[in-house]
Amino acid sequence: MFWELPGPRRFVAEILDSLERQSHVLVLLPRTLGRTGLHTELERGVRGRALGELTVLLTDGSDPDPLDLLVARCGFRAATVEELLFDPFRPSRFLLLDDPGTSTAETWHEFLRRAASHTQVVGRSEVQFVVLVPGLGKPVVDDVFLSVHPWWGRLTQLDVDWATESRLSELPPASAAARYWIRALCRGLAVCDPVLASVLVEACPRGLQELTEVVARLDLFDGTPAIETNELPGVADRFRLAGLPSDGPMHRLWNEGLLDWQEDHGPVVLTRGLVARGDEVELRRRLWRGQLEVFMPIVERARLEVCGYLEQIHGGRWEGVLCRRAGLYEDGDVASEIGSLARLAGALKHSGHPLAPTVRRAIFGWRDIRNELAHWRPVTFDAFEEAVEASDCLLMSTG
């Protein structure tokens, strides 16, 4: 499913566009990013655009010379890179080489640079190479007939939302409170990580401790990323990044799938990295941020439902009627904002004219949710579920 998301699909389309322009392609991918789906999508894309056929060759870095490797495993008979481009014994027009080793990445880059340089001299090439490597120890940029595609900033909030809703649709129906809770978790904690979003949908952790246990158990890729938690960058370090880090600790974190970039948030240390570091402060902040985005529109909707109920019972000028009944003689003292509704409900109770229990429960429940979020505190699942159930009771009472 990952490579079917909008961001990854754009990434694949950009690579195919480069092949159509007759460029050789260097793809920089984190070590932990699943590659099999990318192979499949590129094969399908090459056929779909009627460009020809693409042959996939998996390497393990055991042969440090790309030319020797291609001769030994693909049937080429060329003696030089320049001859390779027009070798009639090529297996197909396009050849994808996937080498996850870091030691041979620079060798592959030099190979592609020579191939692109000769393609520029001749003006064409009978074979084009797509090479997947985990990254280089230096910045790499496009050149004539060489396109570089780094996996950096490719995932947007749309990808996370898409993964969340797709997985929700596949599971048995959950309560309204659980669905909103899951969306808030994914919005705040699965930034740049749609795979984690699918896991959170299934687990639906209801507290920070349960969340950290779920994330700590993840084994999303082959092996466990080898990280030193003290290498995880702080906010100031992250925001000095202008692009994909080409070397140093942050490049290593990117290569382990723990660092990415998103337009809405800038450089992001993925939640798995925060859990490994035990950074509860940042985890709580992200949980709060997701709740703010998802819960505040629900608070507003609940407020309108309460106002609609009061208008249905007390008429179009219900504010004035209830203010006078509560001893608040100036209508301007009370508005229909959720906090003001709570003050009105309290005043009515003290004056001996309390609102119906279902209305009071909804007003105070959502007032408490709003107050917690306004003070940068994440809401508990139990408090949110109670507020949702109060609104449901209110709607049922009004028919």
Q: What is the pLDDT of residues 149-164, one digit of tens each?
A: 999 999 999 999 999 9
Q: Are residues 118 and 21 in the same domain?
A: yes
pLDDT for 225:
45
**Of the candidates 139, 157, 119, 114, which has an alpha carbon nearest to the alpha carbon of residue 28?**
139
**Sheet of 94-98: strands edge to edge?**
54-58, 94-98, 128-133, 24-28, 146-150
113-127: buried (b, 16+ CB within 10 Å) or exposed (e) per residue? bbbbbbbeeeeebeb
> Does the pLDDT of residue 240 top 70, yes or no?
no
Nearest residue to 183 (alpha-carbon basis) of 346, 294, 307 = 294
Task: Point out which residues pair with 89 in neighbouring strands.
Answer: none
* Residue finishing a domain among 278, 302, 335: 278
pTM here? Answer: 0.86
Structure token digits, residue 273: 């990295």
On whether both 67 and 93 belong to a single domain, the answer is yes
Residues 8 and 71 in one domain: yes
Of 115, 150, 185, which residue constitutes the final position of a domain?
150
In this predicted model, what pLDDT tens digit does every residue of 34-72 receive, in sequence order?
Answer: 889 999 999 999 999 999 999 999 887 666 788 888 888
10 Å CB burial of residue 332 (0-12, 13-18, 19+) is: exposed
Question: Do 252 and 166 reside in the same domain of the chain?
Answer: yes
Are 124 and 29 found together in one domain? Answer: yes
Q: Does 34 map to a domain?
A: yes
Question: Are residue 172 and residue 138 in the same domain, yes or no?
Answer: no
Residue 287 placed within a domain: no
Count of H-run helices and E-run strands, the chain: 17, 7
Q: Is the pLDDT of residue 194 over 90?
A: yes
Q: How many domains does the chain have?
A: 3
Residue that has been written with the tokens 């074979």 in this structure = 127
Task: Please tell me the distance from the alpha carbon of residue 95 to that of residue 129, in angstroms, as a whole number.
Answer: 5
* Orientation angle between helical segments 280-314 and 338-350, nearest 10 degrees: 60
Residues 254 and 301 in one domain: no
Please say which residue of 278, 311, 336 terminates a domain. Answer: 278
Residue reference for tokens 């481009």: 85
Task: Give the per-residue pLDDT at 12.
Answer: 97
Asked if residue 43 is part of any domain, the answer here is yes
Asked, for residue 89, whether it belongs to a domain, the answer is: yes
Q: What is the pLDDT of residue 399?
A: 57
Please tell me whether residues 194 and 162 are part of one structural domain. Answer: yes
Task: Indicate if 191 and 235 belong to the same structural domain.
Answer: yes
One domain, residues 185 and 246 = yes
Q: Write out the two tokens for 104.
A: 């041979």
Does residue 52 sit within a domain?
yes
Regarding predicted confidence, which is higher, 194 or 237?
194
Question: For the domain that residue 64 is a member of, what is the CATH number?
Answer: 3.40.50
310 and 226 share one domain: no
Q: Which of 359, 332, 334, 356 is nearest to 344 (CA)?
A: 334
Averaged over 175-191, what is the pLDDT? 95
Model pLDDT, residue 102: 67
* Residue 265 located in a structural domain: yes
The per-residue DSSP string of 101-128 comes to -STTHHHHHHHHHHHHHHHHHHS--S-E
Are residues 27 and 149 in contact, defined by beta-carbon separation less than 8 angstroms? Answer: yes
pLDDT digits 0-9 by tens, 217-233: 875 443 444 444 455 55
The distance of Cα 372 from the centroid of its chain, to the nearest Å, equals 26
* Residue 187 falls inside a structural domain: yes
Residue in 11, 79, 69 with CA at minimum distance from that of residue 45? 11
Confidence at 120, pLDDT banded by 50, 70, 90: very high
**Closest-CA residue to 318 (of 348, 297, 292):** 348
Domain extent at residue 232:
157-278
Whether residue 360 lies inside any domain: the answer is yes
Residue 141 shares a structural domain with residue 162: no
By CB atoms closer than 10 A (0-12, 13-18, 19+), residue 36 is: exposed
Beta partners for residue 133, in sequence order: 28
Residues forming a β-bridge with 97? 57, 131
The predicted pLDDT at position 330 comes to 53
> Quick check: 148 and 244 in contact, CB under 8 A?
no
Task: Assess whether pLDDT exceeds 80 at residue 295.
Answer: yes
Q: What is the pLDDT of residues 11-37, one digit of tens each?
A: 999 999 999 999 999 999 998 888 899
